Structure 1
Amino acid sequence: MADRQDLLTGTEAPPEHLALDKHKLGAYLASRVEGLGSDFRVEKFKGGQSNPTYKLVGQGKSYVLRRKPPGQLLASAHAIDREYRVTKALADAGFPVPRPALYCDDESIIGSAFYITEFIDGRVFWNADLPGIEKVDRTAIYDSMSAYLADLHKLDYKAVGLEGFGKETGFTARNLKRWCSNYEQSKLVDVPDIDWLMQALHDRLPESEPTVILHGDFGLYNAMVHRAEPKVVSALDWEMSTLGNPYIDLAHNTRAWWEPLGFAEGSATTLLGHDLDALGIPSLDAYVDRYCQRMGISAIPHLGFYFGFVQFRYAVMIQGILKRASIGTGVNRNVRHTQDRVFAIAALARKTLTES
């Protein structure tokens, strides 16, 4: 069985349906991006399932290109324009993200909209238990991940120029409606637990919620760790970023603690079954408590609801990947998800919501 770190780390030649027209791209970028030159190399990053991501290796500098995938797309997915906007605003405010260089909506260049951002040379870990890392460094990496998320949630979105990036109220209800719609568009087989969850979550919606800048899919797999130090220095994949409820962002961030066992071919790993004390990784309760301390709150209201919600949402995300793979628009040839995984996560979400 291939190890995820080997499977998803590094670059590869783009598959035919995701190949770039280097001549057109080079002509477009020549006067717009410094240090790339005309004789650059194009490599596709192995990781990621949504927006194809490439490394452009130039004569004096390397960049990253993020694009929408070709083919028929879900209406609300692949929002690279929003990804560009939020990362530019955060970078301008001094928050640690890859700094965007340009956005292009001219689909004639490579066949879809894209943007260019700086390349950050760091480490991305695909195994939640961080094999091969010293115990003290595991502790530091997880603590740094909590700090990064809390620092993001404490930013004043108006002060950094993101007023209007999302509605200021009603996020959870809108997000639930969106993911219910995404599920209907991605459905391949009947999943009774998801049908139950769509109604049960609606019935349990909290009456009020705070509003902050959300990453939308922040986990170890989207955290860029310094090449030599156990510190998160940036975050990748801001496609789902918006203004909304921070507790949904946190609950999704804790996925490794509740990711079901028995799906070793998935794109992320679980901490279930591991001795966390021996590894130096905090328990789920300790991790949530540390986040609360950083946010200056004693506890998170309706925490069980938020965990059930993000588990439901995660099941629908995987269903979307399976749908794209079934119609040939998936961006990663190594799709590690299965329909059984959707069933398992939906069942977990129903259990979480029922017991909370």
Structure 2
Amino acid sequence: MNAVGLNEDAVSGWIAELGVGATTPLTFERIGNGQSNLTYAVTDAGGARWVLRRPPLGTLLASAHDIVREHRILSSLQGTAVPVPKIIGITEDPAVTDAPLVLMSYVDGVVIDGVPVAQKLTVEQRRNVGLALPKALATIHGVDLEETGLEDLASRKPFAERQLKRWSAQWEKSKTRDIPDVERLADILHRNIPEQTEVTLVHGDFHLNNIITDPARGQVLAVVDWELCTLGDPLADLGALLAYWPEAGDKVAGPFMASTLEGFPTRDELVDAYVAATGRDVSAVGYWHVLALWKLSIIAEGVLRRILDDPRNRAEHGGPTSTLIDGVVARAVETAEKLGLH
């Protein structure tokens, strides 16, 4: 049976012509919890493995899930300090696929995409992996934009304004109901924009689910899912990492529960590790934490809308619920109130 979203015979023919030594027949298996771009493990007759990415199925919002752009970013990062998979090929040939496909190397490591995976690690391994994340983030923010040819990847206009405009528009297009606190948070974020002092590469979706790790060595082997990558304020990525990093004492944990287990560093410890790696002033990180929670609720609502529109987009472990999204919004409100943002 063909994997959903792939013409396996045509794709096998394309991969065979790339010169990577793939031995037919090839098998394709949907992997990961990704709710946007779809990811497949490709295995050949000899057991060699690769990873294939394509956009989601059904009607897409303009500019969303741009696989071709992701290919450009990953290609530009080959040979830098940023840990990324090796890019092998891209095709938009209509004889092969109805949407762009990107083939990349398979990185053999652990994705801590849920509590069951995290429970298999020792307390020390959890701590070491957790503290490796801010160091990996530092490599992204240290990329030389001119040297990598990424200086024109996105606008250099003030990043917070761009994010608020983009995600407010996304909310209007993808919401399944009215949530007054989403609009109220947008107003609060508009009123409290911090001064931006630099422009760096920003991953845009940096959290445990998008990191391939080697827990035994406490190392990040690869950062994946670059579809939201842009140019902007580096603290946006740090704030996002905090938004996706619930602690055991949080009233509303949200969808990413692994970091609540013993051993994983606290949010404050993540910030300290980032400062140690970069020397940056992080006094505005609380603002970006709130913005990231607000944005997370909008992304989750968009995923819910896509699943309602086309159930084939549902990942193996289901998808976000209205209750979960309401919980993320509540956490954003609570975080803003603690910071005195109003």
Same fold (TM over 0.5): yes
**Aligned 8 A contact 1:258 1:270 in 2:** no
Cα pair distance change 1:163/1:352, threshold 3 Å? same
Cα pair distance change 1:58/1:94, threshold 3 Å? farther
Equivalent of residue 41 in structure 2, options 46, 55, 62: 55
Equivalent of residue 153 in structure 2, options 165, 168, 179: 165
Q: Normalising by the residue count of structure 1, what TM-score does the alignment of the two structures yield? A: 0.87
* Distance in 1, Cα, partners of 2:292 & 2:94: 33
2:74 is the alignment partner of 1:87: yes
The letter of the residue matching 2:322 is Q
Aligned to 2:294: 312
Aligned to 1:20: 6
Superposed CA RMSD in Å reads 2.3
* Distance in 2, Cα, partners of 1:285 & 1:103: 40
| Mean Cα deviation higher: 178-187 or 133-142 | 133-142
Cα pair distance change 1:132/1:126, threshold 3 Å? same
Cα pair distance change 1:227/1:30, threshold 3 Å? farther
**Aligned 8 A contact 2:128 2:218 in 1:** yes
**Aligned 8 A contact 1:213 1:243 in 2:** yes
| Mean Cα deviation higher: 85-94 or 217-226 | 85-94
Aligned to 2:118: 130
Q: Deviations over 1:93-151 (max 9, x none)?
A: 35321011112223442221111101111111123692132222222111111211112
Q: Normalising by the residue count of structure 2, what TM-score does the alignment of the two structures yield? A: 0.90
* Distance in 1, Cα, partners of 2:274 & 2:221: 18
Cα pair distance change 1:191/1:108, threshold 3 Å? farther
Aligned to 2:173: 185
**Aligned 8 A contact 2:133 2:220 in 1:** yes
The letter of the residue matching 1:247 is L
Percentage identity across aligned positions?
Answer: 28
Aligned to 1:6: none
Give the count of matched residue pairs: 334
Aligned to 1:69: 56
| Mean Cα deviation higher: 137-146 or 307-316 | 137-146
The residue correspondences of 1:256-271 to structure 2 (distance < 5 A) are 256-257=245-246, 266=255, 268-269=256-257, 271=259
**Aligned 8 A contact 2:107 2:221 in 1:** no
**Aligned 8 A contact 2:201 2:230 in 1:** yes
2:317 is the alignment partner of 1:334: yes
Deviation at 1:19, TM superposition (A): 4.1
* Distance in 1, Cα, partners of 2:124 & 2:219: 12
* Distance in 2, Cα, partners of 1:24 & 1:270: 39
Aligned to 1:176: 164
Aligned to 1:287: 270
The letter of the residue matching 1:138 is R
Aligned to 2:83: 96
SS at match of 1:158: helix
Q: Which runs of 5+ in 2 are unaligned?
A: none
